[in-house]
Amino acid sequence: MIATLKAVEASQLQLVEREDIDDEEDLFESIDKLISAGINTGDVKKLQDAGIYTCNGLMMHTKKNLTGIKGLSEAKVDKICEAAEKMVDISLEGDALLRRKSVIRITTGSQALDELLGGGIETSAITEAFGEFRSGKTQLAHTLCVSTQLPANMRGGNGKVAYIDTEGTFRPDRIIPIAERFGMDPAAVLDNIVYARAYTYEHQYNLLLGLAAKMSGEQFRLLIVDSVIALFRVDFTGRGELAERQQKLAQMLSRLTKIAEEFNVAVYMTNQVIADPGGGVFISDPKKPARGHVLAHAATIRLMFRKGKGEQRVCKVFDAPNLPEAEAISFYLNFSVKFF
- What are the sequence ranges of the domains in the chain? 32-87, 99-332
Q: What is the DSSP letter of 30?
A: B
**Domain 32-87's class?**
mainly alpha
DSSP conformational letter for 80 = H
- Does the global pTM surpass 0.75? yes
Reported confidence tier of residue 147, pLDDT bands at 50, 70, 90 = very high
Report yes or no: 90 and 321 within 8 Å, Cβ to Cβ: no
Strand partners, 163: 195, 224
CATH class in words for 99-332 = alpha beta
Is 90 exceeded by the pLDDT of residue 106? Answer: yes
pLDDT digits (tens, 9 = 90+) for 239-260: 888 889 889 999 999 999 999 9
* pLDDT at residue number 2: 44
Question: Are 129 and 303 a contacting pair, CB within 8 Å?
Answer: yes
Identical topology for domains 32-87 and 99-332: no
- With a CB cutoff of 8 Å and minimum separation 6, the contacts of 55 are 28, 29, 30, 31, 33, 34, 84, 87, 88
pLDDT band at 286 (very low <50, low <70, confident <90, very high): low
